[in-house]
């Protein structure tokens, strides 16, 4: 890498980097001779180091100029680290309880130093695979989504401020294009990146590529993803981006996009976890009670999000937001009608994006551990087919749902 000021770090050079960086050294209590470093990146894109000393701990994340899970044949801008650090700071300001603190950001090095979320806190996806119930998950995630999305929308902000934010994050275009390709395009065409459980799902993958109605719906969502600058979204809010406290990590895809892309990522990944449970069931645990808990969490997450978002709207209705001006929305029944319309649209968007994200995890490039960890290919294929059929039905029929309970009844009846 010839670019000025950048070099990919390894365990040894990271020690030297930390010693030369007071904002990081101080977090380790100055006990720099006792440092141990472990690379733990299990994501698709970046390198993540846990740095421990006798007196403290930090996490260092570095973006290299390519997609990690593919290799240097897929170049990718290191500027993603800048957008990740910016979104961590912005979302952290709006929702400090659920975002890790950024200690240090080095744009030339594409490097972020942040709070270490220590054991026993784990990635939510791992907990869902193990069958662990998190009674406060819906409460906390609805809080995160309501605050980050409401306070970065035009309901709360002036259009001038909103467009400033839009302009800043517009430059995260390479990351958006990655999503456009792997979520909205590749699953619907032949691509060398696609894979699925074969030969079991060969026909199912082909059916996705030949389903005109599905392709029209996916194209509509793709356009919305590109065109709708509704709020500063995380952009990759799957259950691998949530560490249970919860804290939300990894917003490198952040930009001003449709709120439903975040809400749908979270709900869609819970539905993926739901369909994977049959593959994890064994004699000791049939996972039936756990599946009920997942459905309850899906319902509560949406319903609590709805209530909290509208509550914030009512609280700030006389503020600077320019989408619904107080002298126009001056009657409470008119405002509540506007809110109902706004929320039902977000609901349908969330269902659509959630379904699209489920489909890409079955027939696209990046799969999820929930399903991948089912070793028996026959069993896995059955779970995957059920997931895919459910996602296709949701994507096509999303506008028919009036509430989340309808979806959870359908999920119960069909599995």
Binding site for Mg ion (CB under 5 A): 43, 45, 238, 250, 252, 357
Cis peptide before 82 (omega within 30 of 0): no
**Nearest residue (CB) to ligand ADP, 84 versus 143:** 84
Under rule CB under 6 A, which residues in 12-41 are in contact with ligand ADP?
40-41
Stretch that binds ligand SR1, among 16-24, 40-48, 155-163, 394-402 (CB under 6 A): 40-48
Angle between helices 332-363 and 377-397 (to 10 degrees): 150
Sign of the dihedral defined by the CA atoms of residues 201, 207, 210, 212, in that order? negative
Task: Please give the full DSSP string across 226-237, using - where no structure is assigned.
Answer: HH---EEE-S--
Q: Work out whether 43 is an interface residue with ligand ADP (CB under 6 A).
A: yes
Binding partner of residue 366 among ligand ADP, ligand SR1, Mg ion, none, CB cut-off 5 to 8 Å per kind: ligand SR1
Binding characters for ligand ADP, 68-107, by CB under 6 A (x = yes): --------------------------------x-------
Q: Binder to ligand ADP among 9, 18, 24, 45 (CB under 6 A)? A: 45
Binding characters for ligand ADP, 108-137, by CB under 6 A (x = yes): ------xxxx-----x--------------
Minimum distance, C-beta of residue 370 to Mg ion, in the bound complex (Å): 12
Q: Work out whether 175 is an interface residue with ligand SR1 (CB under 6 A).
A: no
Stretch that binds ligand SR1, among 38-46, 88-96, 159-167, 323-331 (CB under 6 A): 38-46
Q: Binder to ligand SR1 among 99, 155, 182, 404 (CB under 6 A)? A: 182
The answer to whether the CB of 56 falls within 8 A of the CB of 27 is: yes
Q: Binder to ligand ADP among 1, 3, 42, 311 (CB under 6 A)? A: 42
- Taking residue 124's Cβ as centre, other Cβ atoms within 10 Å add up to 25
What is d(CA 211, CA 359) in angstroms, rounded to the nearest whole number? 13
- Closest by CA to 88, choosing from 73, 74, 105, is 105
**Nearest residue (CB) to Mg ion, 45 versus 176:** 45
Under rule CB under 6 A, which residues in 314-373 are in contact with ligand SR1?
365-366
Q: Work out whether 59 is an interface residue with ligand ADP (CB under 6 A).
A: yes
Q: Work out whether 186 is an interface residue with ligand SR1 (CB under 6 A).
A: no
The answer to whether the CB of 349 falls within 8 A of the CB of 105 is: no
What is d(CA 267, CA 302) in angstroms, rounded to the nearest whole number? 8
Q: Are strands 71-75 and 47-53 parallel, antiparallel or unpaired?
A: unpaired
**Nearest residue (CB) to ligand ADP, 42 versus 97:** 42
Q: Work out whether 174 is an interface residue with ligand ADP (CB under 6 A).
A: no
Q: How would you label 312-330 residue by residue, b for 16+ Cβ within 10 Å and e otherwise?
A: bbeeebeeebebbeeeebe
The answer to whether the CB of 255 falls within 8 A of the CB of 233 is: yes
Q: Binder to ligand ADP among 21, 46, 239, 269 (CB under 6 A)? A: 46
Q: Work out whether 44 is an interface residue with ligand SR1 (CB under 6 A).
A: yes
Partners of 105 in the beta sheet? 112
Q: Work out whether 243 is an interface residue with ligand SR1 (CB under 6 A).
A: no
What is d(CA 21, CA 93) in angstroms, rounded to the nearest whole number? 24
The torsion region of residue 414 among left (phi > 0), alpha (psi -120 to 50) and beta comes to alpha
Q: Binder to ligand SR1 among 14, 51, 67, 270 (CB under 6 A)? A: 67
Where does this chain bind ligand ADP (CB under 6 A)?
A: 40-46, 48, 59, 61, 100, 114-117, 123, 240-241, 249-250, 252
């Amino acid at each position: 890498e010839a670019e000025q000021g950048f070099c990919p770090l390894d365990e040894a050079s990271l020690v030297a980097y930390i010693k030369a960086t007071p904002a990081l050294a101080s977090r380790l209590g100055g006990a720099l001779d006792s440092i141990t470093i472990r690379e733990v990146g299990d994501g698709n894109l970046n390198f993540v180091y846990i740095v421990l000393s006798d007196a403290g701990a930090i996490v260092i994340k570095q973006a290299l100029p390519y997609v990690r899970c593919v290799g240097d044949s897929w170049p990718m801008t290191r500027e993603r680290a800048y957008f990740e650090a910016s979104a961590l700071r912005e979302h952290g300001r709006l929702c400090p309880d659920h975002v890790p603190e950024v200690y240090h950001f080095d744009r030339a090095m594409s490097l972020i130093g942040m709070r270490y979320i220590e054991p026993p806190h784990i990635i939510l996806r791992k907990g869902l695979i193990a069958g662990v119930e998190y009674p406060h998950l819906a409460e906390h995630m609805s809080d995160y989504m309501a605050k980050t999305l409401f306070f970065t929308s035009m309901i709360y902000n002036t259009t001038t401020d909103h467009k400033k934010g839009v302009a800043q994050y517009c430059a995260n275009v390479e990351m958006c294009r990655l999503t456009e390709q792997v979520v909205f395009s590749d699953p619907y065409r032949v691509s060398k990146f696609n894979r699925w459980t074969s030969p079991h799902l060969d026909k199912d993958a082909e059916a996705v590529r030949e389903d005109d109605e599905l392709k029209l719906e996916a194209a509509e969502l793709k356009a919305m993803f590109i065109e709708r600058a509704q709020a500063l979204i995380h952009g990759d809010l799957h259950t691998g981006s949530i560490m249970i406290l919860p804290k939300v990590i990894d917003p490198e895809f952040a930009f001003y996009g449709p709120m439903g892309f975040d809400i749908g990522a979270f709900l869609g990944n819970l539905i993926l976890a739901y369909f994977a449970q049959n593959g994890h069931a064994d004699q000791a645990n049939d996972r039936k009670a756990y599946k009920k808990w997942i459905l309850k969490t899906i319902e509560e997450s949406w319903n609590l999000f709805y209530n909290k978002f509208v509550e914030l709207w009512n609280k700030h209705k006389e503020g600077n937001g320019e989408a619904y001006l107080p002298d126009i929305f001056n009657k409470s029944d008119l405002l509540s009608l506007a809110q109902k319309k706004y929320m039902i649209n977000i609901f349908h968007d969330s269902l659509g994006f959630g379904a699209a994200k489920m489909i890409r995890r079955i027939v696209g490039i990046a799969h999820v551990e929930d399903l991948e960890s089912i070793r028996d290919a026959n069993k896995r294929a059955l779970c995957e087919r059920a997931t895919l059929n459910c996602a296709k039905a949701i994507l096509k029929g999303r506008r028919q749902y009036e509430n989340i309970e309808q979806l959870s009844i359908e999920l119960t009846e069909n599995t």
